[in-house]
């Protein structure tokens, strides 16, 4: 196997372990892996930065921003508080949380589509 491929797989493995362990923030881990690939010479600086102009990357970044805003303001907790009638009943909590998550998911999807 070529040395660049082995190095890329090693960096990918470390990145996956750091993602799963959740010891560092996800954006920090992603930037560290991008920096490692660039500094090791696997990719060039223009190629590494070209990914930031991809609409999918911008959409995911927008989702993180909207999700953080909804969590910080408490809007993400509101459906759970409104829809759960009896918090002690496990079946009611499960069904109501599924409905709440579906409503939030549809709303977030529409917001992202409208933003772009």
Per cent of the chain over pLDDT 90 is: 28
DSSP letters, the chain, are --HHHHHHHHHHHHHHHHHHHTSS-HHHHHHHHHHHHHHTTSS-HHHHHHGGGSHHHHHHHHHHHHHHHHHHHTTTTHHHHHH-S-TT-HHHHHHHHHHHHHHHHHHHHHHHHHH-
Domain positions in the chain are 1-51, 54-116
More confident residue, 105 or 12: 12
What are 26-71's pLDDT values in tens digits? 889 989 999 999 999 999 999 988 888 888 888 888 888 888 888 8
Q: What is the pTM of this model?
A: 0.55
């Amino acid at each position: 196997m070529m040395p660049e491929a082995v190095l890329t797989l090693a960096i990918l493995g470390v990145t996956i372990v750091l993602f799963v362990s959740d010891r560092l923030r996800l954006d920090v881990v992603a930037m560290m892996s991008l920096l490692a690939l660039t500094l090791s010479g696997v990719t060039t600086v223009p190629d590494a930065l070209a990914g930031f102009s991809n609409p999918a990357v911008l959409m995911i970044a927008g989702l993180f921003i909207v999700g953080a805003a909804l969590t910080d303001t408490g809007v993400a907790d509101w459906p759970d508080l409104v829809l759960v009638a009896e918090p002690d009943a496990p079946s009611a909590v499960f069904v109501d949380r599924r409905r709440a998550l579906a409503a939030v998911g549809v709303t977030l999807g529409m917001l992202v589509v409208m933003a772009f």
